[in-house]
Chains A and B, each alone.
Chain A
């Protein structure tokens, strides 16, 4: 069955990509500087022996392929190892991942809740004043620097109005501002996608045919057109998952959200190789997995299309 072959090929590609990414990042971070020096930076009488001693304790004097092998074999079996500066990586990363996913998924859910109805409305009433307003706002929403938006929100809602907590993971209220910051951009992009694909579909032949068959307009729209929109949305989400993760980094910093982004930034500045490798590998794994799922879903949702 050609489909099995296709799936197999895709999975192989995914594995290749993951290996390339993890190899690259493991190598790259070892070029950035010496964690032993970072550790001893506030100490006075540091001798080369001290540095060598610490490096040995961290396993840094082994050849690169040995270090990489230790990391990657541990990673695939679930043993994430120990960080240079903190304790075991497993709990650290799973907490951070939970926080990031919470933020990402909440923003996503809210954005879909807003963008789908609004996008449909805009498409049905193309050219109207409401449509224009929606289009302008969605473009504007894409144009903010996200960290600036976050800071403005803090300024208004935390500092001036005292309605919301300014930082951290502290209860549902603290989720609002970070989710809105990311959500604005997500909503804007999704709005545009929904609107455009709805417009495309509404003018397509088979809708006319469906109407001719006498189905009510409502069911025409919501069944056929929505399905096409969801294809586009899903494809787009898959592609943009990576940049969503990237955007999260800065927003997490601004809101002191204890997620993967904050973790990665700290790891880079401290040269904590194990944590950075793990974080980026997990992110890459998620992105590749999401894209794989998107590819398969795409095939399932629209049998007319076969990815080459």
Chain B
């Protein structure tokens, strides 16, 4: 009973004491998801990066145009045919708790990531190509690879490789660190209220210079309409996840605007290419591709903020084929192809997809309309993420068409291609072809950049020939900002680079 009373009192106190008025010089950002823990090794949620990249740094970072830049490592050399990389570390950097950043910290970070602590989390599997890290001297480390990895430098700018403070973790314990992160980044952790918000303040000793802002607050608001309402009322300055349906409202408001940049996330429908599905016939697959008016989908449901794609990657991806024209929107030809393949009008098919995304929900409904235009009766089968990802896809129990979208965060086609076309991979339960598999394996063995690009492009072309998917579009990364915000440059990856941002009143 006492506990109950205490809880009630606490909750009442929470409401009665209104949240302190936000100091000027503080930026408030609202997003849908709360990443729920702050340990780089444990995180598996994309939304983590936007916040945590302001608390932590990696050895390498990517700038707004996604080029690799020095982070906590000033420079590096790739040696021994890619089996060893030497990093020269930045001098004079400290963690938020005063602890010095040095080679010890880097070794500790990677030992932890590759060791027992990392084994319990999802990030380790991204870094298994690293064998170990050894200290050369206070500001130099050697990273030994288990096998050459052409993408390792990009991965080192990723979530799992953020550098963590050894003394702090050893002293305060893993659980404390999980909820009270300490890093080297431009903002320091102040407080975290689960499901509500996380508060950060500026780190004046940041090695790239003190941020313009005094602090940042990230608020977690699940409901799209609620998030928007907060932006309109001025309680929030930036929306990190903007529902497409909200775009007209934002643009109509004088105090708000939309900034966007093409993102890497591709949306497509994967096609079941084995019997007895009708889509085992390549002509049927091509017909399906021609039945869909991708631009109409983009205009209607993305507010025009997207680009149609002919391959499972966007323009900025390494391995992109610029002159690959997709299947045209041509319902006539689609009907002809279907007829040739012996598919009678009124044939039923089904699209399996994840029910969480309301925009995609609308997209598949519209696609069903396009398919009925060419004589097919296509039903929809929404399912929960867990069921879709756990059972239906990996076990090859999908219907003729199923959703495949992938955030190509490495901006390198190798990742997506391997997942989608390599036999035995989870997203490819039906197999592709010998030639495709050969190309994929070859692509990973080659280290010459030009050669890799050429192989990846061949893969993209082959995939297009075989029409394993209906590639739909890449979404723009959209932010809604109030005119209080100055100097905000959106980047295609989810990271929010807030060092140069400031607010006026």
B residues within 8 A CB of A47?
A: 125
* Contact residues, A131-168 vs B (CB, 8 A): 151, 154, 158-159, 162, 165-168
Q: Say whether A165 contacts B235, CB under 8 Å.
A: yes
The residue in chain A whose Cβ has the minimal distance to the Cβ of B197 is A168
Q: Say whether A258 contacts B389, CB under 8 Å.
A: no
Given contacts A37-B389, A167-B221, contact A86 B122 (CB under 8 A): no
The residue in chain A whose Cβ has the minimal distance to the Cβ of B230 is A166
> B151 → chain A, closest Cβ, in Å?
10
A residues within 8 A CB of B255?
A: none
> B295 → chain A, closest Cβ, in Å?
29
A residues within 8 A CB of B419?
A: 44
Given contacts A92-B194, A101-B8, contact A39 B18 (CB under 8 A): no
Q: Does B358 contact A (CB under 8 A)?
A: no
Q: Say whether A38 contacts B125, CB under 8 Å.
A: no
> A160 → chain B, closest Cβ, in Å?
10
Docked complex Cα distance between A57 and B115 (Å): 13
> A269 → chain B, closest Cβ, in Å?
7
A residues within 8 A CB of B122?
A: 39-40, 42-43, 50, 54
Q: Say whether A37 contacts B221, CB under 8 Å.
A: no
Given contacts A40-B125, A42-B44, contact A171 B389 (CB under 8 A): no
Docked complex Cα distance between A267 and B120 (Å): 19
Given contacts A42-B44, A43-B44, A43-B126, contact A171 B229 (CB under 8 A): no
Question: How many B residues have CB within 8 A of the partner chain?
Answer: 58
Stretch in contact with the other chain, from B308-316, B317-325, B380-388: B380-388
Docked complex Cα distance between A85 and B120 (Å): 11
Name the prevailing secondary structure of the B interface residues.
helix
Q: Which of B7, B225, B356, B384 contacts A151 (CB 8 A)?
A: B225
B residues within 8 A CB of A99?
A: 11
Q: Does A253 contact B (CB under 8 A)?
A: yes
Q: Say whether B235 contacts A98, CB under 8 Å.
A: no
B residues within 8 A CB of A162?
A: 232-233
* Contact residues, B209-249 vs A (CB, 8 A): 219, 221-223, 225-227, 229-230, 232-233, 235
Q: Does A192 contact B (CB under 8 A)?
A: no
Which 10 residue pairs are nearest across A and B when measured between Cβ atoms?
A98-B11, A171-B18, A166-B229, A167-B226, A57-B120, A33-B386, A98-B7, A258-B195, A102-B11, A33-B390
11 more CB-based (< 8 A) A-B contacts, given A151-B225, A171-B17:
A34-B386, A102-B15, A158-B229, A158-B233, A159-B232, A165-B233, A169-B14, A174-B15, A256-B221, A258-B196, A269-B385
List, sorted by A's number, 27 A–B pairs whose CB atoms are closer than 8 Å: A34-B386, A37-B389, A37-B390, A38-B389, A39-B122, A41-B389, A42-B45, A42-B407, A43-B123, A44-B418, A85-B37, A87-B175, A87-B178, A92-B194, A94-B7, A95-B195, A97-B7, A154-B229, A162-B232, A165-B230, A168-B196, A168-B221, A169-B14, A170-B15, A171-B15, A256-B221, A256-B226
